[in-house]
Structure 1
Amino acid sequence: MKIRRFLELKNKRCLTEKSKLTDSSTVGKVITRNMTDWRIADDICQHGDDFVLAHLKYPLNTPIYVYTEEVDQYVSKSVINRGEQETSNVAIIIDYMKRFPNAVFLDIGANVGVFAITLATLGYRVIAFDCQIGNAARMCASMKAGGLTDKLTVVHNAVSNVHQKVSLSTGKQNIGMTWLVKPQLGKPTVDTVSLDDLLEIYNFKRAVIKMDVELSEVKVLTGAFNFFHQVRVEAILMEFLQSPVDSKFGESVLDFMKSHHFAPNDTNKLNEWEFNKWDTHDILFVRK
């Protein structure tokens, strides 16, 4: 009986320890979650021979690791040649973080981390999500090179509304165009997490979000019921595209925004909720 009681207590302690990741223990780390548990993923944080060191123009000479131009003709090529990518959108996020300096910036679909590295370098707390292991590894390398281990956490998971394993499909020479598909034979898989899962670790009260997840936005939002209840989200910058397979996609996103007291930013000069008339794909939703 004593041995069984000892083993029960030991198992209980182990389960408790697995769930004891905190903000302070995850900052400067790559973390990941399977169906049940979070862990620190030091195995992902490895520097590869194919990492290309580039520098952002702002903040001046910020180191950032990207892909070769041959592999990534879009984000990496732009960063290598111009030191920037999505400059106007990065400026929007900087502006909102200046307004709410105690907020946490969530970069959902971070790619190699242009937004995440920029905001962390400016001194803000950042949690960056990406499903591509190569992106997570590069952000880790950038974090170390830029001395950001007190500001940035990288989450290597896809963000959704359920826990499952998925495979990834990626556009030709375009790492940023990655979307989730059902597990496929011979393809690696990655686990999904929800924003609600973050509440197992973090207790922050305010956030600003950038979301670029290739038509998974509805799943991200519907997997964040508790998150939006507990965290005051001030702004969401979203790549808003019409789904070719889901005619209700746009309406579902806007219904969520309305129900959580967000509206398209007036400076976008949009026809309020008439998304079929919007002439831009990058939409800033702000709290009313």
Structure 2
Amino acid sequence: MGVLKDAHQVLRFVWRHPANRERRLHAVGRAVRFQVRGRLGLPTVTPIGTGARLWAEIHQSGASKVVYANPPDWAEMRVWRSILRPDSLFIDVGSNIGAYALWAAESGAEVIAVEPDADAAARLRRNIALNGFPIEVLNCALAAEPGTMSLTVGRDCTNHLVMNGSEQGRAVTTRTLDDIIGDRYVTGVKIDVEGAERLVLDGAERALAERRIRVLQLEWNEQSRSTLGEDREPVAATLRRHGYHLTRPDADGRLVPTDPSGYGEDLFAVVDGADLHAGAPGG
């Protein structure tokens, strides 16, 4: 019964996803082939974007979603496709297997992919090698200050920082976003760190204060309560204090103002007065 329930959920996701609406039967066939190959122990190479590819293995949720829909995060990834240019810098924080990093690199942007989990970072590098993109990989976590923290193990794309010894994990090096950015201007930063997004922003005070990050995408679910024991209001307050307005994409990838209270889909913070289709200042 469990297998049948999982199959039903996959088929429902594939059939309803907007990326598949013009070729639903083809998408279902692709999903079935992936499942069959995976149960035989075989990986699948699947497209991401128009020409990029990545390795997908069964039971790896981040890669599986790319098999089921390209792009998997329809509205969010369409935002980046409309903004990123060859003179852009994009930083993918919590890159996992690299779907966003590859998506951004295909747009011509310079990409830095940050992934603290060693196994995921190895898969990320494998996917980058498959495409030949000059993506820089940093195998570390981002936090409020440099040092060492603990990260859970074996949870695929839901590995997260461990606070106050509440769970078992292994040591990972931490850096700050300010350290990685230096004095550069950044077109976009995607932050998906399973509830620790506020720590990443705490380590980006200089770049935020100097308004050198144009757009940020942040996960906005309840995981912050489990990881940090807080809701998302501290993140919203930090962004507002530095002159960002808070938005979410509509079905066509256009950013519209949103109420960030509570939880919901990923939120995009846009620095006030930003021209999202212009190059970086001085670049």
TM-score by length of 2: 0.69
Verify the 8 A CA contact 1:205 1:230 in the aligned structure 2. no
Report the counterpart of residue 11 of structure 1 in structure 2.
Answer: none
1:107 maps to a residue whose letter is D
SS in 2 for 1:198: helix
Report the counterpart of residue 161 of structure 2 in structure 1.
Answer: 180
Rounded Cα–Cα distance in structure 2 between residues aligned with 1:176 and 1:155 = 16
Verify the 8 A CA contact 2:225 2:231 in the aligned structure 1. no
1:232 maps to a residue whose letter is R
SS in 2 for 1:64: strand
Report the counterpart of residue 47 of structure 2 in structure 1.
Answer: 56
Structure 1's unaligned 5+ residue stretches are 1-49
Q: Highest CA radius of gyration, 1 or 2?
A: 1
Q: Deviations over 1:71-120 (max 9, x none)?
A: x2x2122224445422321111112214xx52201111111000101111
Report the counterpart of residue 35 of structure 1 in structure 2.
Answer: none
The structure richer in helix per residue is 2
Is residue 222 of structure 1 aligned with residue 205 of structure 2? no
Determine what percentage of the aligned residue pairs are the same residue: 20
Q: How many pairs were matched up?
A: 225
Moved more, 221-230 or 262-271: 262-271
Report the counterpart of residue 191 of structure 2 in structure 1.
Answer: 211
Is residue 104 of structure 1 aligned with residue 104 of structure 2? no
Structure 2's unaligned 5+ residue stretches are 1-40, 273-283
2:217 maps to a residue whose letter is L
Rounded Cα–Cα distance in structure 2 between residues aligned with 1:171 and 1:134 = 9
Verify the 8 A CA contact 2:236 2:260 in the aligned structure 1. no
1:270-281 mapped onto 2 (5 Å cutoff): 272-273=258-259, 275-276=261-262, 280-281=264-265
Is residue 162 of structure 1 aligned with residue 145 of structure 2? yes
Is residue 234 of structure 1 aligned with residue 224 of structure 2? no
Verify the 8 A CA contact 1:204 1:231 in the aligned structure 2. no
Rounded Cα–Cα distance in structure 1 between residues aligned with 2:158 and 2:153 = 6
Verify the 8 A CA contact 2:89 2:110 in the aligned structure 1. yes
TM-score by length of 1: 0.68
Verify the 8 A CA contact 1:133 1:156 in the aligned structure 2. yes
CA shift in 2, pair 1:96/1:122, >3 Å: closer
Detail structure 1 runs of 4+ shifted over 3 Å in the superposition.
50-53, 80-84, 182-188, 245-249, 266-274
Report the counterpart of residue 42 of structure 1 in structure 2.
Answer: none
Report the counterpart of residue 24 of structure 2 in structure 1.
Answer: none
Report the counterpart of residue 130 of structure 1 in structure 2.
Answer: 115
SS in 2 for 1:176: helix
CA shift in 2, pair 1:244/1:144, >3 Å: closer
